[in-house]
């Protein structure tokens, strides 16, 4: 599934839920079904700065695609971060860099977050984007003769 298709599916899933409180309940359920990160990944290296809660993002790159795992000690933070990591996982660096997560604002998700959570969410996106840029740069360097 392409990133555009994943994004459209996610938008359709979330727009069915009209009430913002029910939408957050759905996001919290997403967080609760996410497998926790092993303790060895819950370290400073993977910690997202600017968030009141503990939020870890672990990126990997395999077969030309980026993959992301996330965990947090706060379910709302974990759920919203999961929306982003699920969307961008298994995508090429180019796809990630061409598609900012504007759908969160379009769906009104970010307007119901506290300033600290919005800041943390912004930093999740910055980390995903920076990792995609690094992977793209490494691919280009490895492609040189």
Average pLDDT of the chain is: 91
Structural domain count of the chain: 1
Is residue 48 left, alpha or beta, with left meaning phi > 0 and alpha meaning psi from -120 to 50?
A: beta
Statement: residue 112 has pLDDT above 90: no
Q: How far apart are CA 111 and CA 97, in angstroms?
A: 24
- Catalytic residue, chosen from 51, 66, 91, 135, is 51
pTM metric for this prediction: 0.91
Residue 43 CB-density burial (10 A; 0-12 exposed, 13-18 middle, 19+ buried): exposed
**How many angstroms from the chain centroid is the CA of residue 44?**
18
Domain containing 41 equals 3-143
pLDDT at 117: 80
pLDDT value of residue 50: 82
Supply the CATH number for residue 29's domain: 3.90.1010.10
DSSP 101-120: -THHHHTTTGGGS-HHHHHH
Structure confidence by residue, pLDDT tens digits, 33-48: 999 999 999 999 999 9
Active site residue 51: yes
Instruction: State pLDDT tens for residues 11-25.
Output: 999 989 988 889 889
* Higher pLDDT among residues 109 and 68, named by residue: 68
Question: What confidence category does residue 116 fall into, taking pLDDT thresholds of 50, 70 and 90?
Answer: confident
Q: Who wins on pLDDT, 128 or 111?
A: 128
């Amino acid at each position: 599934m392409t990133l555009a298709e994943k994004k459209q599916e996610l938008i359709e899933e979330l727009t069915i839920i009209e009430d913002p409180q029910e939408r957050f309940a759905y996001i919290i359920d997403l967080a609760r079904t996410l497998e926790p990160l092993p303790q060895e990944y819950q370290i400073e290296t993977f910690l997202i700065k600017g968030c009141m809660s503990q939020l870890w993002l672990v990126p990997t790159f395999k077969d030309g695609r980026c993959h992301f795992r996330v965990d947090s000690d706060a379910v709302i933070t974990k759920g919203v971060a999961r929306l982003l990591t699920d969307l961008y996982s298994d995508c090429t660096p180019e796809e990630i860099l061409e598609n900012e997560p504007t759908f969160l604002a379009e769906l009104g998700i970010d307007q119901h977050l506290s300033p600290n959570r919005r800041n943390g969410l912004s930093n999740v996106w910055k980390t995903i984007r920076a990792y995609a840029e690094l992977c793209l740069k490494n691919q280009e360097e490895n492609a040189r003769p």
